[in-house]
């Protein structure tokens, strides 16, 4: 059990018939009245985000989240298939469960999958990936203004803003947390 007064960012708790991830919290001690804890929490199964206030002495059971390294195998159009690299067990997930990570995953890439009570609820792409540019407009000679970017489509179909000198066939490094171009690979 963890009390609301001991809550930290990133902790997962069981509350209100769900599992919630603490996104942000603030201990408030008003001039009058009792202290309270204001929390911004996200339901890990549904993705719903809400803000609530709690008494600092209120206790919550801590939720145990398991993570596994998985390999993305393929998509059959409706489902995305992943394999546990240790047991070779395969798991098929729908688009809603993989939508953030799949933008940066190619077949045979590694991903981190998070589970609660054996059920997968989130897939995370590696923080940095290298992908090849498949489509972009050519940069124009002399068009070297600082900070100029153009849209480019990478091999997974995702559109990334890249500098003007990047061309089709170039491999680029992308930060998957922000979706930003970092460098040529």
CATH classification of the domain holding 117: 2.40.50.140
Nearest by Cα to 152 from 128, 175, 180, 176: 180
- 139 and 116, same structural domain? no
- Give start and end residues of each alpha helix (H) in 80-158: 95-98
- 87 and 75, same structural domain? yes
Q: Where are the beta strands (DSSP E) in the chain?
A: 2-3, 12-15, 18-28, 36-43, 49-54, 59-60, 65-75, 79-84, 90-94, 110-116, 119-124, 128-136, 149-154, 159-163, 171-175, 180-184
CATH number for 40: 2.30.30.30
Report the pLDDT value the prediction gives residue 79, as an integer from 0 to 100: 93
Report the pLDDT value the prediction gives residue 143, as an integer from 0 to 100: 55
- Give the separation between CA 25 and CA 41, rounded to whole angstroms: 9
Report the pLDDT value the prediction gives residue 91, as an integer from 0 to 100: 93
- 93 and 56, same structural domain? no
- 120 and 69, same structural domain? yes
Number of structural domains the chain divides into: 3
- 173 and 132, same structural domain? yes
- 31 and 10, same structural domain? yes
Q: What is the full per-residue pLDDT of the chain (185 aa) written as tens digits?
A: 888 888 888 888 998 888 998 889 999 888 888 899 999 998 888 878 999 999 988 999 988 889 999 999 999 988 999 999 999 999 999 888 888 899 999 999 999 998 888 888 889 999 999 999 999 988 765 555 566 888 999 999 999 999 888 889 999 999 998 999 999 88
- 51 and 8, same structural domain? yes
Instruction: Give the tokens for residue 46.
Output: 């549904």
**Which residues neighbour 118 within 8 Å (Cβ) at sequence distance 6 or greater?**
none
Instruction: Give the tokens for residue 61.
Output: 């059971």
- DSSP, collapsed to helix, strand or coil, labels residue 99 as coil
- 74 and 36, same structural domain? no
- 16 and 51, same structural domain? yes
Cα–Cα distances (Å) from 166 to 18, 22, 26, 60, 134, in that order, read 46, 39, 44, 51, 11
What strands, in cross-sheet order, belong to the sheet with 90-94? 90-94, 79-84, 65-75, 110-116, 119-124
- 24 and 8, same structural domain? yes
Report the pLDDT value the prediction gives residue 8, as an integer from 0 to 100: 87
**Contact indicator for 159, 121 with CB cutoff of 8 Å:** no
Q: Which of 94, 124, 154 is the last residue of a domain?
A: 124
For residue 83, give its domain range.
65-124
């Amino acid at each position: 059990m963890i009390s609301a007064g001991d809550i930290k960012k990133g902790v997962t708790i069981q509350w209100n018939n769900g599992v919630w991830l603490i996104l942000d919290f603030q201990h408030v001690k008003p001039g009058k009245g009792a202290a309270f804890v204001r929390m911004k929490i996200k339901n890990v199964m549904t993705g719903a985000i809400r803000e609530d206030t709690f008494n600092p002495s209120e206790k919550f059971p801590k939720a145990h989240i398991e993570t596994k390294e998985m390999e993305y195998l393929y998509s059959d159009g409706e489902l995305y298939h992943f394999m546990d690299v240790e047991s070779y067990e395969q798991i098929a997930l729908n688009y809603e469960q993989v939508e953030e990570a799949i933008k940066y995953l190619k077949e045979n890439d590694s991903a981190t999958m998070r589970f609660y009570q054996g059920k997968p609820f989130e897939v995370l792409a590696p923080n940095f990936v290298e992908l090849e540019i498949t489509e972009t407009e050519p940069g124009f000679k002399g068009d070297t203004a600082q900070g100029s970017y153009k849209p480019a489509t990478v091999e997974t179909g995702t559109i990334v803003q890249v500098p003007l000198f990047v061309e089709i066939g170039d491999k680029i490094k992308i930060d998957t947390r922000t979706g930003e171009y970092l460098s040529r690979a």
